[in-house]
Structure 1
Amino acid sequence: MPMSKVFGKRSKSVVHDEDHWISVSDLMAGLMMVFMFISISLMRDAMIERDKIKEVAVTYQENQQAIYNALLDEFKADMDEWGAEIDQNTLSFNFNSPEVLFSLGRSDIKPAFKTILNDFLPRYLATLDKFKDNIDEVRIEGHTSSRWNHDSSENEAYFNNMKLSQGRTRAVLAYSNSIDSTLPYRDWMRRYIAAVGFSSSKLILNKDGTENSQKSQRVSFRVISNAETQIRKILGS
């Protein structure tokens, strides 16, 4: 007796359903493979970007250290006399003697500070010239204490000091461009040197957290590298 009579014939619909499930299974397996390849590709791209950013970060640290060392080598014999210091983390060359820089409440540069700038600026620009491909900006920063006068409110003191700090940095920038020895760097200076007044927003504090009024009143020449720009280019590419 034929087996089909014993067990019965498989209906066409059963055979069709099995074929259908086999094709769906094959499709799912194919999609899984596609997704796997996409994931591997994305992970590879992410690792490449990570390595590029890591390379920029390492280069940035090396450049920061190199610029700091170059500035320190050039000016270490002058800083005590000028009342200056270099912040290694921010590459800020800080002039910290307010009595030498400006008269109280005024933005006119004192003769003593002009003498310092005459010596400092051409040497500073010559030092940075070796690193100009890695520099995004040199910022002349003006900082004040939080004080103005006894009758001023905190808000009035802040904005009066903002106007004062801005006036002082503009005066330093203008004087920098008038020194004969900076002439070879004049085009670069116009493109890359900016003057910014911060008022009392970046105070220097004592160890006990109180304001150090003396050190807060300062003028800084700060180097800003282009590492952030390079990272943006990598992420945008």
Structure 2
Amino acid sequence: MRDDAEHIEQEEHWVSVSDLMAGLMMVFLLVAIVFMVDAEIERNKISEVAVLYDRLRTQLYQDLLEEFEPDLERWGAEVNPDLSIRFNRESLIFGRGESDLSLAFESILAEFFPRYMRIITSDAYREDIAEVRIEGHTSSGWLGQTEDEAYILNMGLSQERTRSTLAYVLNLPAVSNQRNWLKEHMTANGLSSSKPIVDSTGEEDGERSRRVEFRLRTDAESRIAAMLEEQDL
């Protein structure tokens, strides 16, 4: 009888342990399901933000193109789907090796920039613009210098050109009411010859490489990064 009682007690013990393990597995399963559901919700949010900003970029590109297309050839400029506007006819913007704006480029900027600001600070886009980048680009050469020396010298030249451009547009009377917004969002970036324009054969197009670009960055990247950080937390 004693052996039977011990046997029954052991069986009851193992049944209790089995029930406990089954309960724990159910808890872990529920936690895993909740985690997967939350992760799916966050992925959907990120996807929705990406789709939203892709549509916004497409519409903004169309608005910029529609506004400036009649003037692009005259300005030696182009509007690109990546939301950059290139002024790449060097003879109109700077003298060779100089950082002071030409009178022709000042005239172009006075015509271009207020219209540009009217679009990007409209109710449709204002809250979604994270940065207005003025980029200065050069060709890779510098007479009498090694490749590395030319790169450094061109870095200084491209930075000076962007500063000259920024100072000019910031002080245009036509955008004076947007000056505070511009100081919060506009940057000047000299990139030397790091991003040359190449022709169909892969050779550098020196004339088009020497350019100034206005480039917009939306806050889609920062919003998606914030969502990912929330997931990590």
Is 1:56 paired with 2:52? no
Aligned residues with identical type, % of pairs:
45
- State TM-score, norm by structure 2: 0.94
1:151-162 map, 5 Å: 151-162=144-155
Distance, in Å, in 1 between the alignment partners of 2:227 and 2:89 is 42
Q: Which runs of 5+ in 2 are unaligned?
A: none
User: What is the CA distance between 1:205 and its match in structure 2?
Assistant: 1.2
| Alignment-derived partner of residue 127 in structure 2 | 133
The match for 2:168 among 170, 175, 200 is 175
| Alignment-derived partner of residue 189 in structure 1 | 182
User: What is the CA distance between 1:9 and its match in structure 2?
Assistant: 5.8
Is 1:110 paired with 2:102? yes
The match for 2:92 among 80, 90, 100 is 100
The match for 1:74 among 67, 79, 86 is 67
Distance, in Å, in 2 between the alignment partners of 1:124 and 1:74 is 8
Distance, in Å, in 2 between the alignment partners of 1:44 and 1:213 is 54
Q: Which amino acid aligns with 1:200?
A: S
1:159-210 Cα offsets, whole Å, 9 max, x none, are 0000000000000000111211111211111110100000011111112111
Distance, in Å, in 1 between the alignment partners of 2:140 and 2:10 is 82
User: What is the CA distance between 1:212 and its match in structure 2?
Assistant: 1.2
Is 1:124 paired with 2:105? no
| Alignment-derived partner of residue 3 in structure 1 | none
Distance, in Å, in 2 between the alignment partners of 1:126 and 1:105 is 32
Distance, in Å, in 1 between the alignment partners of 2:127 and 2:108 is 27
Q: Which amino acid aligns with 1:124?
A: Y
Distance, in Å, in 2 between the alignment partners of 1:75 and 1:179 is 19
Worse-matched range after superposition: 75-84 or 16-25: 16-25
1:127-148 Cα offsets, whole Å, 9 max, x none, are 1112111110000000111111
Distance, in Å, in 2 between the alignment partners of 1:182 and 1:9 is 98
Distance, in Å, in 2 between the alignment partners of 1:95 and 1:69 is 18
| Alignment-derived partner of residue 213 in structure 1 | 206
2:197 partner SS: coil
Alignment length (residue pairs): 228
What is the alpha-carbon root mean square deviation over aligned residues?
A: 1.2
| Alignment-derived partner of residue 19 in structure 2 | 26
Q: Which amino acid aligns with 1:113?
A: F
Distance, in Å, in 2 between the alignment partners of 1:166 and 1:160 is 10
Q: Which runs of 5+ in 1 are unaligned?
A: 1-7
